[in-house]
Structure 1
Amino acid sequence: MSITTLNTITLKNMTALDTSKYTVWVAGFIQQPDVYLYLNTDGNFTSDAGNYININNGLTVNVPDVTNLGNNRLVFLVTENTTTPPALSPTVGYTAYPFNAAPGVCPPGPYDIFEFGPNAQYDVSAVDSFGLNLSFTVSNDNLVYGAVPAISRPEIGEAFASFTGSDPLGSAFTQLLYTSPTGTGYPDSIMGQFSAIVSPKDWLAINPGANGLNGYWADTISAFFTQGNQLNLYLNAATVGNYSGTSDGTKYVLTGPGGITVNIPAIDFAGNQGFMQAVRGINPGENQNEYDAFNQIEAAIFQAISRGVLLDGVVAKGGSISESYTSTAWTNIENWYTNHKNAYNQNPSVYDAYAKFFHCARNHGGIIMGLNSAQTLGMAYGFSLDENPNVGSWSAGNNIPSKTNYSVGSGQDVILTIGRWFQAL
């Protein structure tokens, strides 16, 4: 039985790299309930295992109208012509580029990921580090998601260096602009550029003692979990409703709709874990609603830490806290990524300057990332959970990452661009 094409993704290689020396590659897969479909050289997905495809001259990808489980992606990679990429595994991912270290497969050159799927949201990029300047547009949608195509990789690097040099909290993040090889022969040097910008999470995984980043939010987390502190938030995902409770000094115990109880332990955010959401499996005796609410509340805390508004949503022991006080504070865009005096103890707020750069930085007389529909924040690369808030009332127009706020479906064709490698002469 033939598979109907739902929509197309036109891949455009705009790197202007010398194709006699370098190759832009793509590999992709769609996860169905019982089998993976793989991208093949004709642009179709079949059950035949797919290798990397040379897209120096572009490619039209036909998205099939099939059931999928959400684990779908196109992976883009740039190498020297003497390098052939290993086959892409849907179950064993790449390591944090440009580090030649386990776990996973070490990519030979710079790479980036585009998440997509039949009747799903589209997102660039699913990886944390900035590897390739990808962007995409959708028919009948005037937004540019991801990196502005006219901005080259060197310009993005220069903008990051300029930003970290001037931002109040940027100095600790300067080290994330990685421009040197990490070992003999690794990774491939493409026009003398080794990587672009490494995420703090990936950097700390390789360099756990990184000066300026290790324990970056230690004081914030300590204050957040002070005994007697109160939270009152509206969760708009999982088990939707209002959650309130206090900290005993080691954890928050929050009560939600229908008497649901959620424990949020301080240990989940200790050390460097503020740069990632702490995720655990379901506990014995914990029902699915409780587990889902736990995951979403920890995600909300992770987001609030990253944006520097965590302590705006806390009321100390003995004070009066109103309904939705916490979620209202965490969704106040005016305070995002600023070192304002927080509402809890009036100390300057700390935020993730790496995330701030991709969400807010402007340089070269223009915008490095396309702006969202509200024209408030950049359509930045999605940092897993650093997306639209899962608490409070939220307008989709203010969504942060380069993710559509709708599912791309029948006839909604997409143009995906691998952007310029170097500045125009």
Structure 2
Amino acid sequence: MSITINLKDYSALKPASGTVWITGWINGGDSAQFKVLQSNGTFEAPPAGGGVPFLKVDSLSSITLDEATNGANRLMFVVSQDKPAPLSITNFSPKPYTQYPYMAAPGVAPAGPYDIFEFGMNAAFDLSAVNGFGLNLGFSATGPDGAMYRYGVRETVTRKQVQSAYSAFIENEKKHFEGAEYFKELLYTGALPGSGYTPPMIGDEFFAICDPNDMLAAKTANYGGTTTDPLSTYWDDTVTALFKHGNMVSIALGAANYLGIALDTSRLSAPPAVPANCTSTAFQFDIKGEHKYIFQPESGLRTAEFVFRQSGFTTPGYGSDPIISQLQNNLIEAICRGVVLDGVKDPNGASTNNGFSTTAWNNDANWYKAGSTCHYYAKFLHCSDTDGKDYRTSNTQPIFYGGSAYGFSMDENPANWPASAAQVPSKTPFNISSGTVDLWVGPYENQTHKRPNTGQYAFGFGTGCEALAPVVIDGQTYKASGEGAIGGVLPDLPHWTKMEFHGPGSGHYIWIKNGQVATGDCLSKPVEQPQKTPHVFAWPAGTDWKPGATPPQKPSA
């Protein structure tokens, strides 16, 4: 089995501004199988006493994975003017960059904005922004059903657009809920107040969008100190309302339902031990004939830690009980999505243990509603378009393909999520053990690849074809005119290349190379106009993707 990861650098950075670098490793922590990325795109054992080197992305066309891996495999991308120093190795694992942000000089200082890609043999591939958003990465992979799946930031979205979108997003959201303003500080553009460390910037762009958990951890010495940051009290009212005495939840895990009742454990005949930093109020669940508890944390920083960090405040031994762990994760997911109280019934409500909480929490039409107390960093990743508006109401494309993203560590498909429902995290819903994956670094500033003005071949769609746009070929974007026409000179395409139609959504493409087009059953065949200079492939006005058609296989020659 072999997986090929094709690397595409769409950053369009000038050398004077910066360069995109990559490093990678597989089987971290395994003394026998730990290997690092080589200049030929393979993985080999590092030399004795050596580190994990960085390579220019544009010096690698692809990476090959052809061996078994454990769960500690990553590719790390960083933008910097100079070549970054190799990562040091400890216990057969790289010592990665310290996560954003930094009050003092970080333990391992990054050379510039960075981000990661997680992969493995016969494993799901994913992009995670749990520890902040640094670079506009994206990838595509073919699923077992033959369809193309895309995750991460769309190829046409620049990093500069992400920055402006985040600022506009916070301004738009605080019109409905003033607490959204508290997330404004996460756009990390310089030294934090009271900090002497300034992150290395590339041009006038932001360094990162920080995760709120890491922001609070940085300001409180990993939750050991205090802070006046309003994020530290952001969840107090919601969590207090959730743990109101007598409230009931019914959470479904597979075929089993678990009924929880909020009560004051100090009034029980045999009260359980209350964990540190918690109140005596808890949800009591009966699990295999034994009472188990999820305790309410103390207000302020402890409650913020409970939600943002997803830390456990439960009975001793909770970590060894997978059921109570899953129940707590379900509560936290619903809190972050702004729907937890939708799944709560008061003492006068029906107490039927039928999974009513899960039913309410899995109604994604109610997630991240305007005006709700929700996780606005996660909402931005899932819902924002490039204008900072909620794409669900603006009828535009989200920044992230399908609105799939990791906005917090428990940001997975919820329990009992239908197989036919949209993927919540930016992770393949299948494992990959062979085939090709395309992985890209998106454009950096407000620019796209410079399209050729001259060339041997060109294409064109007549008026009324705006539903297909934008069209992306080899990283170059062709938008529709005011009349809905699309076209232009093609780049040199010596090999079969996808001609992607982003208007209909993910997974709509045909194949094109110099002098040839393979449309399959998706589109009508173009009319060739070889007498023109350049040679034109032309589709008539009103051309659209045929309903139900699937992309053709890549031609063999």
TM-score by length of 1: 0.85
Q: 1:126 to 1:173 in 2, by over 3 A?
A: closer
Secondary structure of the corresponding residue to residue 408 of structure 2: coil
- Is contact 2:251–2:358 with CA below 8 Å preserved after alignment? yes
Deviation at 1:321, TM superposition (A): 2.6
Letter in 1 for 2:429: N
CA distance in 1, matches of 2:89, 2:136: 20
Percent of aligned pairs with the same residue?
34
Show the counterpart of 1:247. Answer: 262
Show the counterpart of 2:210. Answer: 198
CA deviation map 1:159-209 (0-9, x unaligned): 111111011233221221122245777422212224131111111112353
The higher radius of gyration belongs to 2
Letter in 2 for 1:247: A
Matched, 1:118 2:141: no
Q: 1:126 to 1:192 in 2, by over 3 A?
A: closer
Q: 1:117 to 1:244 in 2, by over 3 A?
A: same
CA distance in 1, matches of 2:445, 2:305: 34
Matched, 1:383 2:408: yes
CA distance in 1, matches of 2:228, 2:443: 31
Show the counterpart of 1:418. Answer: 441
CA distance in 1, matches of 2:121, 2:382: 27
CA distance in 2, matches of 1:176, 1:244: 37
Identify which of 179, 184, 190 aligns with 2:189.
179
Secondary structure of the corresponding residue to residue 380 of structure 2: helix
CA deviation map 1:51-72 (0-9, x unaligned): 222223344111123142x122
Show the counterpart of 1:409. Answer: 433
Q: 1:185 to 1:260 in 2, by over 3 A?
A: closer
Letter in 1 for 2:242: F
More displaced stretch, 414-423 vs 204-213: 204-213
Show the counterpart of 2:223. Answer: none
- Is contact 1:147–1:380 with CA below 8 Å preserved after alignment? no
Secondary structure of the corresponding residue to residue 362 of structure 1: coil
Q: 1:292 to 1:34 in 2, by over 3 A?
A: same
CA distance in 2, matches of 1:272, 1:318: 31
Letter in 2 for 1:105: V
Q: 1:87 to 1:12 in 2, by over 3 A?
A: farther
Gaps of 5+ in 1: 341-348, 373-377
Letter in 2 for 1:195: F
Q: Give runs of aligned pairs for residues 256-405 of structure 1, distance below 5 A.
A: 256=287, 258-259=288-289, 261-267=291-297, 270-279=303-312, 283=316, 288=320, 291-322=321-352, 323-338=354-369, 349-364=372-387, 366-372=396-402, 378-381=403-406, 383-389=408-414, 391-405=415-429
Show the counterpart of 1:226. Answer: 244
Q: Give runs of aligned pairs for residues 51-66 of structure 1, distance below 5 A.
A: 51-66=53-68
CA distance in 2, matches of 1:202, 1:61: 31
Identify which of 25, 28, 31 aligns with 1:29.
25
Q: Give runs of aligned pairs for residues 50-129 of structure 1, distance below 5 A.
A: 50-68=52-70, 70-81=71-82, 83-87=84-88, 90=93, 92-99=95-102, 101=104, 104-125=107-128, 127-129=130-132
Gaps of 5+ in 2: 221-226, 265-280, 388-394, 449-557
Q: 1:281 to 1:8 in 2, by over 3 A?
A: farther
Count of residues in correspondence between the two structures: 398
CA distance in 2, matches of 1:313, 1:254: 16
Secondary structure of the corresponding residue to residue 183 of structure 2: helix
Show the counterpart of 1:15. Answer: 11
Secondary structure of the corresponding residue to residue 213 of structure 1: helix
Q: Give runs of aligned pairs for residues 204-219 of structure 1, distance below 5 A.
A: 204-208=216-220, 209=227, 211-219=229-237
Show the counterpart of 1:345. Answer: none
- Is contact 2:104–2:196 with CA below 8 Å preserved after alignment? no
More displaced stretch, 362-371 vs 185-194: 362-371
Q: 1:194 to 1:211 in 2, by over 3 A?
A: same
Matched, 1:147 2:153: yes
- Is contact 2:26–2:69 with CA below 8 Å preserved after alignment? no
Provide the alpha-carbon RMSD of the alignment.
Answer: 2.8
Q: 1:396 to 1:37 in 2, by over 3 A?
A: farther
Which structure has more relative contact order (CA 8 Å, sep 6+)? It is 1
- Is contact 2:100–2:215 with CA below 8 Å preserved after alignment? no
